[in-house]
Amino acid sequence: DSGVTQTPKHLITATGQRVTLRCSPRSGDLSVYWYQQSLDQGLQFLIQYYNGEERAKGNILERFSAQQFPDLHSELNLSSLELGDSALYFCASSVTSGRAMFDTQYFGPGTRLTVL
Amino acid sequence: AQSVAQPEDQVNVAEGNPLTVKCTYSVSGNPYLFWYVQYPNRGLQFLLKYITGDNLVKGSYGFEAEFNKSQTSFHLKKPSALVSDSALYFCAVRDTNYNFNKFYFGSGTKLNVKP
């Protein structure tokens, strides 16, 4: 158990809908990262937040957005869902902003999103 | 640009035999390399990392990895495989140029350990 929690574990929804995925980092970690894992794209970095502020952006679609709250939990919002958005969404956390050499990301169990 | 390649989609090994999961990297600057393991329906678990220093890195569950700068490789190894090692293994490199926070993951290698 990494200490990173994600809810829900599974989510089934329809095209065009909007969903929110939630992540709580390990105690003491200030950074939260979001990844998408799909069969055809592999594991892709989406976005990172550090202490409430966006710090890095990856291959995140404009239909997707995220935020990190004062208690450091983070939410990933996916809107206008398409079939191709079906994937595993992972959250990871780390202690620092990511610039420290020793910084390691610890992953949550993931949320499996199915868009029908 | 930073990238890693895992040339084998799948590795099959018998229990008790040594295992190697291959990873090669391409970076500009010093490489910061990681191995993660993903068990079915679970998140990625950190195994080990190379930042600097000794080329042989020891990690969790008896795994180790050998950093080879001349061959730009970071192969994961274990002297004696267990059936419970069967999982998906990912090599990753972190961006040390423009965005230190970004990790680039390989496509993954499925390890099958047979009794």
Specify whether the CB–CB gap between A23 and A68 falls below 8 A: no
DSSP state of A28: T
- Which residues in chain A have Cβ-Cβ distances shorter than 8 Å to B102? 45, 48, 56, 58
Interface of A with B in 57-76 (CB under 8 A): 58
Give the max Cα distance, chain A.
Answer: 42
Cβ–Cβ of A105/B103 closer than 8 Å? yes
Q: What is the structure's pLDDT at A23?
A: 98
Give the number of A-B residue pairs with CB atoms closer than 8 Å: 56
Hunting for tokens 């678990």 — which residue is that?
B45
Write the single-letter amino acid at A89: Y
Instruction: Tell me what the pLDDT averaged over chain A comes to.
Output: 91
The Cα–Cα gap between B34 and A108 comes to 17
Sign of CA dihedral B75, B60, B9, A36: negative
Cβ–Cβ of B44/A107 closer than 8 Å? yes
* Per-residue pLDDT tens over the stretch A66-92: 999 999 999 999 999 999 999 999 999
Q: What is the structure's pLDDT at B36?
A: 95
The Cα–Cα gap between A73 and A69 comes to 6
Specify whether the CB–CB gap between B88 and B35 falls below 8 A: no
The terminus-to-terminus CA distance of chain B in angstroms comes to: 41
List all residues 6 or more positions away from B84 whose beta carbon is below 8 Å from its beta carbon.
B113
List all residues 6 or more positions away from A32 whose beta carbon is below 8 Å from its beta carbon.
A23, A25, A48, A49, A50, A68, A72, A73, A74, A91, A92, A93
* Per-residue pLDDT tens over the stretch B56-96: 999 999 999 999 999 999 999 999 999 999 999 999 988 76
Q: What is the structure's pLDDT at A102?
A: 66
Q: Which of B27, B44, B57 is best to mutate for the A interface (most A CBs within 10 A)?
A: B44
Q: What is the structure's pLDDT at B101?
A: 66
- Which residues in chain B have Cβ-Cβ distances shorter than 8 Å to A2? 43, 45-46
